[in-house]
Amino acid sequence: MNAMEQSGLKRKLGLFDAVMVISGDMIGVGIFVTTGFIAATVPSPGGVLLIWLLGGLLALAGALSCAELSASLPLAGGDYIYIREAYGKLMGFLSGWSSFLVTFSGSIAAIAVGFSSFMSYFFPILGSDNVFFSAAIIGHSIKVSIGTVFSIVTVLILSGIHYAGVRQGVLLQNILTTLKIGSLLGIILLGVLVGKGSTEHFVPFFDLSKVTDLSVFGAAFIPVIFAYAGWNAVIYLAGEVKQPERNLPRALVRANLLVILLYLAINVVYIYGVPVTEMKGALRVSEVATTALLGYQTSAWITAIITVSIFGALNVVIMLGPRIYYAMAQDGVFFRGLARVHPTFGTPSNAIVLQALWSCILVLTGTFDALFTYVSVIISLFSALTVGSVIVLRFKRPDLKRPYKLWGYPFVPLFFVLVSLWIAWGSLVSKPWESFGGVIIVGLGIPAYFFWQKRGLKG
């Protein structure tokens, strides 16, 4: 079945749900740890805020582009659907292939391990040092700790919740995202109302004399881009959003604007609490700033906020990925059973199970870090292809109904595409062999595609 004729998934999610999904995916650990790195490379208040603003504008450019795409093609699967329609089935498959092997499953593994690591602050037994089993398999050392088991159990529990219904998973996400936003607002309000900061920290606002090489802006920009990751989260659930032509564009724009404003405001509070020169290289700048503002050690509650943020991001990623594999299976280019929608729960149940199993294997073997290193270039390229689909489909499918037309076309998508290609080029130059490994991983999808397509034709 062509995914243009999807059936089975029900539209149960409203505008508020969609906004919470995007915001919850975007607000992760990045906002709490990235500013110290930026301050080390762009050491002025204006420079730090400018980098955060530019990162937000890039995310917004992607969101605006996906607003047109998702309103025109309101189907489960997100970028797999857009790339397939713009560049053909093979390119769409390779996008979904890399999503399953690395992008989503690897993200789940990495976030789950990170969640366990932060939980070990409160429960030291979850620390990675508590190894109870180790072995070498095909030359790869595997170490299993109590934290490893906790990470796997967390993935399985959240996968079980999403297996049991999209409403249950989204309800949990609404609660977690509300806690995230509330925590950021709490830091902002406490910092402004009772914080012992100083406006002198903003003078001079820009100090370009400390920037000797424009390349430092690029070095500072990349981690901010990752802090805004998740700006398109709801497109994967497009087949389950009510009134998608109306709600998807609104959710994408509103969620991104909300997060941009929160990120800028929280960074203003950071600088109000600590001069930029003193936050250089601070890994947990949020803790440094709030401790200075409030006059007491804040490590416990900052760690708690970060832990909730990580848990919320994990919940979202587990929810989204299976919709890609479901759409691929409906197209006949992935395991047929993944197209199954549970008769009672109305979820892509088999796809959820497969993703959970593969993610747990990645947690157990610890191979997700290496996989991400290999495919960082590929991820940037597929992001460029996704947003570039807006331009391609304007020519290829002029007849396509477009309930929402992208504002700023073609400059908005071109801005995103060019920056994504620049990031990909930077990764390629700095890590050529790892990038070649990523090409091999994605290239293995070519014979896999023809294998599944042949099986689909026979079926």
Domain 11-458 has CATH 1.20.1740.10: yes
Centroid of chain to Cα 367 = 19
- CB of 28 within 8 A of CB of 263? no
Note down pLDDT in tens along the chain; length 459 residues: 443 455 589 999 999 999 999 999 999 999 998 898 888 888 889 999 999 999 999 999 999 999 999 999 999 999 999 999 999 999 999 999 999 998 999 999 999 999 999 999 999 998 877 777 777 666 667 788 899 999 999 999 999 999 999 999 999 999 999 999 999 999 999 999 988 889 999 988 887 665 555 556 667 788 899 899 999 999 999 999 999 999 999 999 999 999 999 999 999 999 999 999 888 878 788 999 999 998 888 889 999 999 999 999 999 999 999 999 999 999 999 999 999 999 999 999 999 999 999 999 999 887 667 776 777 788 889 999 999 999 999 999 999 999 999 989 999 999 999 999 988 887 788 778 878 888 888 999 999 999 988 876 554
Instruction: Give the separation between CA 32 and CA 317, rounded to whole angstroms.
Output: 20
Instruction: Give the separation between CA 30 and CA 34, rounded to whole angstroms.
Output: 5
In this prediction, residue 456 carries a pLDDT of 63
CB atoms within 10 A of CB 224: 24
Radius of gyration of the chain (CA): 22
Instruction: Give the separation between CA 180 and CA 197, rounded to whole angstroms.
Output: 23
Instruction: Give the separation between CA 170 and CA 56, rounded to whole angstroms.
Output: 25
Instruction: Give the separation between CA 126 and CA 136, rounded to whole angstroms.
Output: 22
In this prediction, residue 216 carries a pLDDT of 63
Angle between helices 368-396 and 79-87 (to 10 degrees): 50
Instruction: Give the separation between CA 447 and CA 42, rounded to whole angstroms.
Output: 46
In this prediction, residue 3 carries a pLDDT of 39
The SS3 call for residue 415 is helix
In this prediction, residue 283 carries a pLDDT of 77
Helix (H) or strand (E) holding 144: strand 140-145
Roughly how many angstroms between the first and final C-alpha of the chain, as a whole number? 11
In this prediction, residue 1 carries a pLDDT of 44
- Would you say how long the chain is, in residues? 459
- What is the tens place of the pLDDT at every residue in 390-407? 999 999 999 999 999 998
